[in-house]
Structure 1
Amino acid sequence: MKTKSSLQKYQVYLAPLLVGLLIVATASAFLKPKVALILASGSELSQKKQALARLTQKVAALQGLDPQTLNTKTQLALKALPVEKEVPWLIRTVKAVAEETGVVLGELNVDPGELASASAKPSQAEGKSNLTVLEFDLNAEGALELLVDFLARLEAVLPLMKLTDVAFGQASEGVFQLSLGLETFVMGLPPTMAVTDQPLAIIGQEEEDAYQELVSFKPTLGEAVMPSMPVGKEDLFNL
Structure 2
Amino acid sequence: MVSPVGKLGQVILKEKQLWAAAAMVVVLLILVFGPAVSQVKKNRATRDKLSERLAVLEEKLAVLSGVDPLLVDERVKRMERVFPSKKPVVELISTLSQLAGKHNLAFGGVSLKPGSLQGEGEASKAKAEDLADLRFGFEVGGTFDGISNFLKELESVAPLMKVEGVGLTIKTDPVVKRQVVAVEAAIEVSAFYQAPPESLGSILTPVSLLSVRDEAFLNRLFNFTSFETVLPVAQTGKTDLFAAP
- So what's the TM-score if we normalise by structure 1? 0.74
Structure 1 stretches of 4+ moved >6 Å: none
Calculate percent identity across the aligned residue pairs. Answer: 17
Aligned with 2:72 (options 67, 70, 87): 70
Higher strand share: 1
CA distance in 2, matches of 1:163, 1:209: 23
1:199 counterpart SS class? coil
Cα deviation code 1:148-180 (max 9, x no counterpart): 33332220101222222x141536445344140
Aligned with 1:220 (options 219, 222, 227): 227
CA distance in 2, matches of 1:54, 1:120: 36
Structure 1 gap ranges (5+): 225-239
Structure 2 gap ranges (5+): 173-181, 232-245
What is the CA distance between 1:41 and its match in structure 2? 2.3
CA distance in 2, matches of 1:223, 1:17: 95
CA distance in 2, matches of 1:121, 1:159: 20
- The corresponding residue for 1:81 is 83
> Is structure 2 residue 108 aligned with structure 1 residue 105?
yes
Cα deviation code 1:155-207 (max 9, x no counterpart): 0101222222x1415364453441403122224134135x2432112133222
- The corresponding residue for 1:11 is 13
> Is structure 2 residue 157 aligned with structure 1 residue 160?
no
Larger radius of gyration: 2
Aligned pair in 2 of structure 1 residues 16, 149: CA closer, same or farther (>3 Å)? same
Is this contact kept in 2: 1:81–1:186, CA < 8 A? yes
Cα deviation code 1:117-152 (max 9, x no counterpart): xx875845xxxx735313121131425544433332
Root mean square deviation, CA, Å: 3.1
- So what's the TM-score if we normalise by structure 2? 0.72
CA distance in 1, matches of 2:83, 2:163: 16
2:197 counterpart SS class? coil
- The corresponding residue for 1:92 is 94
Cα deviation code 1:83-137 (max 9, x no counterpart): 3334322332222223333043202316343458xx875845xxxx735313121
